Amino acid sequence: MNAIKSAMIALLLPLSFVASSALAGEKDPLFISATSDDAHRAEMALVFSKNQLERQHPVTVFLNDKAVFVASKPNSERFKNQQVLLTSLMEKGATVLVCAMCLKYYGIAETDILPGVKISNPELVDAALFKENTKTLSW
């Protein structure tokens, strides 16, 4: 019986370390990568971000690829709800980054981005993405 117990512990112990490393700590940072200009997907990412921010997790939302349209003032009618959410997130302390290369690719002027949204660069992304214990999600 002891041999079976020892074998079970030997098998399960490594799994417990893997499982615990995937779980978020009480205030671990969250990095959301949003890539879509689909209104529903964008709103899901932002509502999820809002919920985690309310749970005291520092949140960074990185709008890249087509998601840059979500933060574009000329698209305010199409993304009205999402822009309200973005503004609210920033007011509550979230960081919102927008991909500079994607803005250029899609012909969006930096001056057309919502106030408070930061134009990303490698240093800003690195600081948020590689902060200790950061968890990431993608939409």
Task: Please state, in angstroms and rounded to a whole number, the distance separating the CA atoms of residues 68 and 64.
Answer: 6
* Res. 5: pLDDT tops 70: no
- The residue segments making up the domain with residue 134 are 25-138
- Whether residue 117 lies inside any domain: the answer is yes
- Whether residue 13 lies inside any domain: the answer is no
Other CB atoms within 10 A of residue 43 CB: 16
Distance set, CA 136 to CA 30, 36, 53 (Å)? 6, 16, 14
**Residue 41 sits in a domain of what CATH number?**
3.40.1260.10
- Whether residue 10 lies inside any domain: the answer is no
- Whether residue 85 lies inside any domain: the answer is yes
Task: Please state, in angstroms and rounded to a whole number, the distance separating the CA atoms of residues 40 and 21.
Answer: 31
- Whether residue 18 lies inside any domain: the answer is no
Number of domains in the chain: 1
- Whether residue 1 lies inside any domain: the answer is no
Does the pTM surpass 0.85? The reply is: no
What does the pLDDT look like over 30-81, one tens digit per residue? 999 999 999 999 999 999 999 999 999 999 999 999 999 999 999 999 999 9
Query: Both tokens of residue 7?
Result: 């074998």
From the number of C-beta atoms within 10 Å of its C-beta (0-12, 13-18, 19+), residue 45 rates as buried
